[in-house]
Structure 1
Amino acid sequence: MAQSRIPPEAAGSLAQAFKALGDPIRLQLMSMIASAPGGEICVCDLTPAFEISGPTISHHLRVLKESGLVTAERRASWVYYRPQPALMRRLSALLDIDD
């Protein structure tokens, strides 16, 4: 962003990802997912960390997934979430300003 203009075709997906991270709960969820040992975390480990309902957690996770920040894989009755490093690198690169 500091070096050149963002192409219109990239601006939409990047804005969607930033918008998803603009919610405090989603930002915390993303942090937990991205820092999870082994590169993934079960929803069963995410839900107890918050004082909100399971359906609300599911909504926030769906927003993160739809924005492309995470992927989800169902295993039996649990869903495991993984960060999407490529998109995270793109977001990081946009905010990087050379001193």
Structure 2
Amino acid sequence: MDHQRDELIQLLRSKDTNISYEKAGMLIDLLKEDFEATYAKAGYEYQGQEMAQRVVEQWIQSYGGRIHEIAAMNERYAAILSGDDDVKQ
């Protein structure tokens, strides 16, 4: 799973070159959690990590370069993006 997470982080960072590895990882984790929670609340049967991985990858492909705009609409995401990054990997 770490390999898949790392792939998503690298994909996000290729779309948004100003985001640090750490922030990208936190955003990936939040996006997956939010997707899974919303999917469950809608009453759908759990489809596994693969489904969450695919959906988050699609979001990154579609919105990765503008993730900061989308995140600004959600307090949890905005808090992650507003923190200072002293070191970018």
For normalisation by structure 1, the TM-score amounts to 0.29
More strand by share: 1
User: Between Structure 1 and Structure 2, which shows a larger proportion of helix residues?
Assistant: 2
TM-score normalised per structure 2: 0.31
